[in-house]
Structure 1
Amino acid sequence: MRLHCDPDRSRAATAPYNFIRLPRKVFWVTEGIATAHGPLKPWEHHDEFLPGTHSGWIDLEITALTPLFIRGPVARRAHGWDAREARLRGEPFLDSSGRPVIPGSSLRGMIRTLVEILGFARVQPVTRQKPFFRTVDVSRLGRAYRQRMVQGATKPQGGYLERRGSDWCIAPCQVARVERTLLEKMGVTFSDRNYKPSWKFQHRKVWVKVERNVVETLSFNQRREPGWSEGTLVLTGNSPRKKHEFVFYGQPGEPVAIPETLWERFHDDDQITQWQQQAFPRNEPKGAHRPAAGALREGEPVFFLCRPDEVDPEANPHGLVFFGRAQMFRLPYDCSPYDLLPEEHKAAGLDLAEAMFGRVAGQKTDGPTLKGRVVFADAVAIGDHREWLDPVLVPNILSSPKPTCFPHYLVQDSSAPDQLRTYLREDGAEVRGHKLYWHRSLPAGQVAAADQQALLKDLSSNCPQNTQHCLMRPVKKDVRFRGRIRFSNLTDLELGALLAAVRLPPECAHKIGMAKPLGFGSIRVTPTLTLIDRSRRYEAWNDEGAKSADPQSFIERFAEAMLAHARKAGEPMVPEKRGLESIERLSDLYLMLNWQSRPAWEKTATMPLQEFRERKVLPSPLMVATEKPRCPQPPPSLPTPAREPPSSMRSPPPVQPQKQVSQLQKGKTIKGQLQRDAQGQWVSVFPSETTSAIITNAKDIPSETEDGARAEFFVVESAKKQELARIRFVKILKC
């Protein structure tokens, strides 16, 4: 597994969330859990009381340390169900008497996540959908996008959507460019960068004269003279220095089948952008059937890309890569987050969390269905509060974090913008791990959106105009709740895992509900353990067999097992800490759960858009909480005079015995010279080295680079017995 290296401060991102690194080895329980009665598989024995296991309950006293919001369910109204969008239903989860409730399902999800992390379980579910990208700048990612869009003779084509039964296809046609200056003379206007094409002109029927794929003359009136062709005007939005739009024309060709997976992927939430929803509303064009804002309709013009290497005779006979509304549409990456999991986390087997909480076959997991042995009841507010809730508010826009932000979501061993690992297959990236939110205390004015009264009035109306904000009425801070967890047939290890997730260290707190980036949802949980003595219960009429128990002994047994597993797996340790916190990844967990020493709010703030464009790298929880970098980026080596290259350099010189410690050590940044050999290939030369190194990304060296240019490199692999070191070109250095 790769180690994430913290960036220097100038390249460090901030976010209200962070990641707990995945375990190197999963703690499997497929063959049973060791007990004093031998290995047990209690998940196979729901119909009996197993010796060596425990049943009982854990009473929970919960205190809201911050406002808390969990949206209530859809309610029945006088004339049917509440039809409002979820974002417009600001009511929290309440019982029939109006008391706030934390649903058992929310508590279950919160505790299961912690059991997965503490119990060295697989991270799941992990999407198998490939994220999208569209990068047209001069970066490495931009070059990769252009290479995928135009490979040899393949390039985006145009066509019309057709429906044939339950299947969809694209009927190819000819595409011509039309200059915006010509359209402006016809009354088409192009305003600001975010303008939406007017449906007075979008997809309008036109007649054109085309010369070399360029519209020379255009008319909105029917023309029957020779040389005129009927077509459809396609307006694709604004971009800097954009000078043309498109006309689709000509007779349709052989239809290109759209695989169902690609059709569904186009309509996923992460693909349909806000711009598309606004530019393609349900009621446009008039008389057409569009199932939802931003969705596609029959007859709509689209661009598409096919490649021979994507052909699958059954699933994708035409090799369709993807399609979109713009010529440079968004492409799916090579890999999905699931593809970037370590193989250990894809293996078949049963981990501790699945054994305790159960699983459903075929639903985001492998293996047979298993019934869980842990049940969570709703936690209901207690006390005599006259007012449980804060006033209704419109918070600042809460946009969910997107896995496409690879500087945050993927392990990065360099913070150089052009050396970041992405979802491209050749990058060999890995996912960061389990995502959690920091505890936050935002200053006044950071939670509620500006122009609060106007937004409240609009969002509470029957036809709100605002499409981005939401309503919420949070539960007040300091409200207390009471709930219960019931369990049956848990081994010492499993009960210890459950208690370790419920009873956190005194300085820590849990996080639950919505609006976590705004600081909502921090809660303190105080558990009380009760075990049932089955023998006592069934030997007497009036004895239920319940007895109080100390959670600490079970937590300690669980900690011993996890420490032994961590050492055997070679997990990095923190020698100065004790117990579970001495395991580095769990030390990060407790840093993120720490309520008393939570980071200053600005250290966990959502970055402005400009900083996202700079592709800053999200540091480890340790660096955020303590400013101590883990696996810091090595400082650049001091500049030294360049060594004169050999007069005839036909190939990199062979590896020779080192008389001094090589500077070409994995993970280091080093400066050197670029020289071309007799075959015109780039070779690296370093003043302090007797050998060269293999440049893994020589294609990324700018074409205008001259022989002898000084450059910065990142060492990917140190030299081995019969192999040269492997380095990545980072940038050209100014003299």
Structure 2
Amino acid sequence: MADDEIMNALRAKIEKDHNKDKPQKTQAQQKKKKKPPKPIIMDMGNNAGRSMGRSGGNAGGGRSGGYAGGSSHGGGRQTGISHGGSSRGNNWPSPRQPDGNFSIAYNFVSLPEAILASPLEDVVHGAPLRAKKKKTKEDDAAYKNAYRSYIENVGVYSGHIDLHFQTLTPLFIGGFDAEEEEVHGFFSPAGRPVIPGSSLRGMARSLFKIVTAGSMREGEDFTNRHLYYRSMAASRSSIRSHYVEEIVQNVPGQRKSKTRAQAGFLMHVGQSYCISPAKHEPVSASGNDLIGPAARWSEQDKSVVCATGKMQNKRHNERIYGAQWNVRHTVPQEVINDYTSDKSRFSGDQKNKEFSLLDAPNLALTAPEKIKAFTGRDDIDYLVPCFYVERQGVVKHFGQGPYYRIAYNDSIADRVPASLRDNLIDFTDAVFGATEYWAGRVSFEDAELEGNVKFLSPALSKPLMEAKPTSFQLYLEQNGSHTMHWDEDTSIRGAKLYWHRKIGDKEWCATKDDPVITGTKEIRPIAAGASFTTRLYFEHLSKVELGALLKVFYLHRDAHVGKKLIAYKIGRGKSLGMGSIRMSRQPQLFIDDARIVYGSFLTDGTIASSIAAEEPTSYVEAFDTFVKEHMADKELKRYDLMMEELLTLLDWSNAEKSGWSARTKMMGVDNRNFRERSVLPDALSFVNSTRSPGR
């Protein structure tokens, strides 16, 4: 199906270019249609999911929701943030609105208009260090001294918060298992299951960053890379033409097209890669004697016939020959990095996933003597046929066939507003730590489970099928004129969070119809209804900082809450509905009063301690007041929207609604809404919609 849709796009472009100078035909003339050109056969790949039961699980605390791109639609709001990118201004069809079969497991909290700087920013950057790209040891010392001064003057609040949670859905956090074990067990370092403090810290940190309108840091909040694509299924997006313009060209004087990509040989020489150009021609694939990925090398005529796909009905393979070994086009390391980070290329089941040209033993030459016999060169240690596009001797991108996946010109960072990538110190830096300069001032104990724990029967989980950032209709803001992709003037959507779903004890289990991911194990989650308690320690926080921290666990008191039932997400399988937890009791705040009066130490050097219970309201109000005093009207309006979206996404009562479970499961790639790139409604529009999805 994907092949046909690509060819429809190519034919449409060819017909348009061929007829653009011809006079308009009458209706009678238009009825006489010419037979369309024969399609070109191309290999296509697809995405598949992940599984939770991989051996050697990680008990560490990743964020429960990451910053990512997204989009709003129709009656939803627009962010008004624009930057970078190229807007082609073509008259593309309007984005497709979702129909009743649209379903998705996540949504987004909008990005803030600007970073809410921590009071620490004024102290530390008074050093001043912000403008310096390279910092000396003296600069580092000044930075740390400024931080220490800040702590001594305003960091007077130390103590702890007792937190009590109850699981609303099955919960699984993987431990570290031996290879031979058949079941991936729950995290139980001392023989009894606990929720690692690092997981709780990760959950709290991600929500804290939203609540405090934090920055967007590369390597911390998003991984910067160039995404790849070859999707032509979206008739309502400019991405179809974008691909055609980049990789397809018309043959002068003929009604046919060909790839812009040139054949060549990718080689590893020393510590880098380069490509020597070559010629190519199709050869018959009759008899299916060469099923890819595979190659037949000929030293006699210095050619290679390669099959790059596993399609049994391929009409031809490619013969690559006539290499110009004296010409070597440089492949920048950035291009290599982007190629290897293209997760969608290498994910999926064994039948449909692509392979990496950088590690293709069935296609490449790796033996030095064979490489030298074929090339006449002795400095090459890896040789593989490929297709590529170069500009002035520098390779722009490469792939395994004439119509391969290509990278967007812009990276993910180019779609992150510059105002959020500023080097300002935000509250997350100040409270949770800036690795290079100071440690965090909060820590979590492992959460102890109370009473007897009910484990569910071991089973393979459903694959964690979900759309990747390449699904720009879901991850990027949309302007309503056409569906915008990663090379256009838009921004990522915001912080990605998963909806709560009310699921039974077996709904997470794989069925016989689900694909099995190689290397996965059965898992054994904890059942809903389990209770656990943990203690959050904090040291040397200001009243505003403590208020911001408390706000994360007192969201149920927020003005936007109304009748919402606030719950959180932790652990694995969030897209399946797993990992929903709620507060089973009010958080209890305890302040070390002696530290406020005397400072951290008494005259004899011992730490004074006088722990007393406190009511949190005044601290949360101190933070709320800080927000109002330090945000402009436009920023405050956006912040209020963010909080409303956050509380909507955390609202467990949504899960009680009829039809909600069907609306919040991940739609498959065969769903029309996915194929035609229906735009994701914002969180508020999604919840307020009265439509029920079809079955």
Note if 1:402 corresponds to 2:468: yes
Alignment-derived partner of residue 426 in structure 2: 351
Tell me which structure has the larger Cα radius of gyration. Answer: 1
Residue equivalent to 1:259: 332
Aligned-partner Cα distance in 2 for 1:145–1:171: 24
Return closer, same or farther for 1:121/1:377 CA change in 2, 3 Å cut-off. same
Letter in 2 for 1:205: W
Q: Which residue of 2 aligns with 1:211?
A: none
Cα offset for 1:409?
0.4
- The separation in 1 between residues aligned to 2:241 and 2:306, in whole angstroms, is 27
Aligned mate of 2:489, from 425, 428, 431:
428
CA RMSD, aligned part only? Answer: 3.7
Matched AA of 2:661: W
CA positional deviation for 1:42: 10
Match of 1:606 in 2: 666
Measure how far apart 1:160 and its partner are: 2.2
Q: 2:456 aligns with which of 387, 390, 405?
A: 390
> Of the candidates 366, 382, 385, which is equivalent to residue 298 of structure 1?
382
Partner of 2:588: 528
Separation in 2, partners of 1:379, 1:283: 46
| Contact 1:12–1:618 under 8 Å retained in 2 | no
Residue equivalent to 1:188 = 289
Q: Secondary structure at the match of 1:203?
A: strand
Cα distance in 1 for residues equivalent to 2:364 and 2:273: 20
Instruction: Give runs of aligned pairs for residues 320-339 of structure 1, distance below 5 A.
Output: 320-339=395-414
Contact 2:331 2:395 in 1 (8 A): yes
2:677 equivalent to 1:615: yes
Percent identity between the aligned chains?
27
CA distance in 2, matches of 1:119, 1:286: 52
In the alignment, structure 1 residue 112 sits paired with structure 2 residue 205: yes
**Structure 1 residue 397 displacement after superposition:** 1.0
Provide structure 1 residue ranges, at least 5 long, that are not aligned to the other structure.
35-39, 76-81, 190-196, 208-221, 223-228, 291-295, 309-317, 362-368, 456-464, 574-579, 630-735
Q: Are the equivalent residues in 1 in contact too, given 2:71–2:492 (CA < 8 A)?
A: no
Deviations 1:525-561 (A, max 9, x none): 3421111122478489997211111112211222232
Which amino acid is 2:230 matched to?
R
- The residue that corresponds to 1:272 in the other structure is 346
TM score, norm. by length of structure 1: 0.66
- Asked if 2 retains the 8 angstrom alpha-carbon contact of 1:266 and 1:272, the reply is no
Distance 2:681 2:157 in 1: 41
Change in 2 beyond 3 A, CA 1:52/1:174: closer
Partner AA of 1:609 in structure 2 = V
- Where 1:299 maps in the other structure, the secondary structure is strand
Higher RCO (C-alpha under 8 Å, 6+ residues apart): 2
Q: Distance in 1 between matches of 2:347 and 2:151?
A: 53
Cα deviation, residue 26, structure 1: 1.5
More displaced 10-residue stretch of structure 1: 557-566 or 339-348: 557-566
Alignment of 1:683-694 (within 5 A): none
Deviation of 1:569 (Å):
3.3
The verdict on how the C-alpha distance between 1:515 and 1:289 changes in structure 2, with shifts beyond 3 A counting, is: farther
Whole-angstrom CA distance in 1 between matches of 2:616 and 2:547: 8
CA change 1:171–1:51 in 2 (3 A) is closer
2:307 to 210, 235, 248: 235
For 1:5, the aligned partner's letter is H
What CA distance in whole angstroms lies between the structure 2 residues aligned with 1:406 and 1:93? 35
Show the counterpart of 1:21.
Answer: 110
Tell me whether 1:516 sits opposite 2:574 in the alignment: yes
Q: How far off its partner does 1:278 sit? A: 6.2
Higher helix content, 1 or 2: 2
Whether the aligned pair in 1 keeps the contact of 2:569 and 2:580 (CA below 8 Å) is yes
Superposed displacement of residue 2, structure 1: 12
Which residue in the other structure is 2:147 paired with?
44
Displacement of 1:286:
9.9
Task: Report how many residues are paired.
Answer: 535
CA contact (8 A) 1:11 1:617 kept: no
- What do residues 626-657 of structure 1 show as CA deviations (whole Å, max 9, x unaligned)? 2289xxxxxxxxxxxxxxxxxxxxxxxxxxxx
- Classify 1:141/1:561 alpha carbon distance in 2 versus 1 (closer, same or farther; 3 Å): same
| 1:51/1:249 CA distance change after superposition, 3 Å | closer
Could you say what secondary structure the match of 2:403 adopts? coil
Is residue 126 from structure 1 mapped to residue 232 from structure 2 by the alignment?
A: no
Aligned to 1:285: 362
CA distance in 2, matches of 1:375, 1:627: 40
Displacement of 1:510 after TM fit? 1.0
Contact residue 160 and residue 538 of structure 2 kept, 8 A: yes
1:491 corresponds in structure 2 to 542
What TM-score does the superposition give when structure 2 sets the normalisation length?
0.69
| 8 Å CA contact retained: 1:357, 1:371 | yes
- What is the CA-CA distance between 1:91 and the residue it aligns to? 1.2
Matches within 5 A, 1:573-652: 583-598=640-655, 600-610=660-670, 611-627=673-689
One of 528, 547, 554 as aligned partner of 2:619: 554
In the alignment, which residue of structure 1 is the partner of 2:322?
Answer: 250
1:531·1:547 contact (CA, 8 Å) conserved in 2?
A: yes
Q: 8 Å contact 1:395–1:469 — kept in the other structure?
A: no
Structure 2 CA distance for partners of 1:103 and 1:120, relative to 1, 3 Å: same
**CA–CA separation in structure 2 for the residues paired with 1:232 and 1:166:** 25
Contact 1:64/1:477, CA 8 A, preserved across alignment: yes
Give the drift of 1:503: 2.7
Offset of 1:62 from its aligned partner?
2.0
Deviation at 1:495, TM superposition (A): 0.4
Aligned equivalents of 1:347, 1:53: Cα separation in 2 = 28
1:513 partner letter: G
